[in-house]
Structure 1
């Protein structure tokens, strides 16, 4: 039986201690960001840089100090992962070889505006940090979409530029967006999905997909290309409607988790030879072998402004031994862009609403 009672809340941090805490974390991330920024072209002005990419997201969504530059509106969750041991012959990672691994996660809306209504975008995301007993971490960010719109960082940047507001109207130019998709046929699978995708009424009933490919590595050094997704173990009855209001997703999550733990099954899909492992815009064919790697169990929700997930950069290339990134160029870009976003928002911590309230107390 699971103890569903909540532990005493953490005492609020003073503004000074909060700034020091985040500054210490930022030093470590700065070093990592430097490495990924180098391989991602920061030192070459002719190539796309993390700064350039985050700048266009800010241009499209506005600047909201202290918040992530994308997937800004979210909620923290705490729980653990129960391994089925089914993936242990493919990977030496402890998360697949130990019975239980603690998890700190975050659900979020697919928008760069923390004040956006929950019905503003059909995409929901789940980010997780698994902390193994040996201290190594696995961080993963998954989305409800099955494929990514484009296959390269440059194409993603051009998509953001096409969606930038026209100074004359304050809104994106539909012709620019149409022209972009007309010149990027790799977006067809994503467009087919988005045409029928509807904003869900709950984070809890969504499937979440890694989209990018990775490798599992076993004790013999054998590498197996994989993608993974989280599948909810409980589904609502069909025909439900999206509630009115701006913040129904967090409210729904808090109500459901108060009633008992929430569970997802981690499915790991094994690529066949010839399946694309460096192109997130392409789905793998049906019929691939799927491992039931275990169960994610979420037991507690926390506000994102003072919850445990606030200080975590869910960099998809923070991986334990036994899991490796593929050569998908979007992975290095995500890593570098997340670091740039992280450094910006942690430097703005004094502007967060919670920090202001603490400073006044």
Structure 2
């Protein structure tokens, strides 16, 4: 084998031999070794107790079971489509194109926050809304929101520990109350969430719920000034007299949504809350004071619904860190963890499609890819 050539000051190549050659390969080997070690560490292979996206998703599966082709959380859902009509009021605080006057197409998804796609709609007391805004400049804004005022914990590790505490006991099929109680006793930051959940009741409709970002983000204006924000979707629809009670049955939410949309579009106002100095941006367990300034950034208009088995939301990963220029992540540690876990869930459910009974890898089956 020829000796490697290296350039010389004269421009003519010279051959590396002896100690120089050994030294060069040693440097290359060291770089490769460091890269491999870093990759293994990030993957969790050299630190078995380190929290990774795979461990988080594995725990969700341990709690709810594995349903091939479905999302590992918020598995039961429905697609919706429509548009966002900007009011122009948020342009002062963010130069994201979505806030310029005009319409932006939206593909969304309502869901029941559980890992079982066959769970009853009344199994949990809150709902979720996920949206993908397709901006005219080719950028996207994706957001996932929930109909609860605060998150129960502040960190990814605490969330994993909560899931672990809630894992069903094989003997009973239900979580061990003592383990759940011990978790919350050691996490006083969950007090606001527990206070809310004690009286929360499952709503009878996706349409009458408000949905909150919970995590903080940062709007960046045309001058580069940063504005910490949270947002929520405030519904125009309300429960009519006698409709507020939760219906019987397990699958009433889809039917209600279809009935309402048959009568006309459904609307929500995107309300953006501006933080005051000192308001926490890295703690989703704390709501900001109610006197903070709100901006009505525009109206979300949903016009149609489709089953998630074949609808346009089926293949969308609603990663909260897919953000357009003018919107950035805050320092909330839950955001990168959500992004990584969503990616892991997406890869698992889409790779499972080819392995489902009666499904050929060369002929994708849309109804199994949720």
Interval containing the TM-score (normalised by the shorter chain): 0.7 to 0.9
Matches within 5 A, 1:256-275: 256-275=260-279
SS class of match (1:196): coil
CA distance, structure 1, for counterparts of residue 321 and residue 41 of structure 2: 15
Matches within 5 A, 1:322-361: 322-350=326-354
1:198 corresponds to = 201
Q: Is it true that 1:115 corresponds to 2:118 in the alignment?
A: yes
2:83 corresponds to = 80
For residues 275-333 of structure 1, the C-alpha deviation after alignment (integer angstroms, 9 at most, x for no partner) is: 00000011111200000000000001000011000000000000000000001000000
CA distance, structure 2, for counterparts of residue 38 and residue 342 of structure 1: 22
CA distance, structure 2, for counterparts of residue 86 and residue 42 of structure 1: 48
C-alpha displacement at 1:167, in angstroms? 2.2
Q: Which runs of 5+ in 2 are unaligned?
A: 1-37, 360-364
C-alpha displacement at 1:143, in angstroms? 0.1
CA distance, structure 1, for counterparts of residue 277 and residue 119 of structure 2: 42
User: CA 1:48–1:257 in 2, change beyond 3 Å: closer, same or farther?
Assistant: same
User: CA 1:309–1:174 in 2, change beyond 3 Å: closer, same or farther?
Assistant: same
User: CA 1:330–1:148 in 2, change beyond 3 Å: closer, same or farther?
Assistant: same
CA distance, structure 1, for counterparts of residue 41 and residue 290 of structure 2: 37
User: CA 1:329–1:237 in 2, change beyond 3 Å: closer, same or farther?
Assistant: same
C-alpha displacement at 1:354, in angstroms? 11
Q: TM-score, normalised by structure 2?
A: 0.84
8 Å CA contact retained: 1:325, 1:331: yes
User: CA 1:303–1:352 in 2, change beyond 3 Å: closer, same or farther?
Assistant: farther
Matches within 5 A, 1:199-238: 199-237=202-240
CA distance, structure 2, for counterparts of residue 358 and residue 270 of structure 1: 41
2:54 corresponds to = 51
User: CA 1:270–1:358 in 2, change beyond 3 Å: closer, same or farther?
Assistant: closer
User: CA 1:126–1:227 in 2, change beyond 3 Å: closer, same or farther?
Assistant: same
SS class of match (1:115): coil
SS class of match (1:331): helix
Q: Is it true that 1:105 corresponds to 2:99 in the alignment?
A: no
SS class of match (1:88): helix
Q: Which runs of 5+ in 1 are unaligned?
A: 1-34
User: CA 1:280–1:205 in 2, change beyond 3 Å: closer, same or farther?
Assistant: same
Matches within 5 A, 1:1-361: 44-237=47-240, 240-350=244-354
- Give the length in aligned residue pairs: 325
Q: TM-score, normalised by structure 1?
A: 0.86
Question: CA RMSD for the aligned pairs?
Answer: 2.2
8 Å CA contact retained: 1:214, 1:325: yes
For residues 250-294 of structure 1, the C-alpha deviation after alignment (integer angstroms, 9 at most, x for no partner) is: 010011111100000000000000000000011111200000000
C-alpha displacement at 1:177, in angstroms? 0.3
C-alpha displacement at 1:245, in angstroms? 1.1
8 Å CA contact retained: 1:57, 1:112: yes
CA distance, structure 1, for counterparts of residue 113 and residue 138 of structure 2: 30
CA distance, structure 2, for counterparts of residue 282 and residue 111 of structure 1: 23
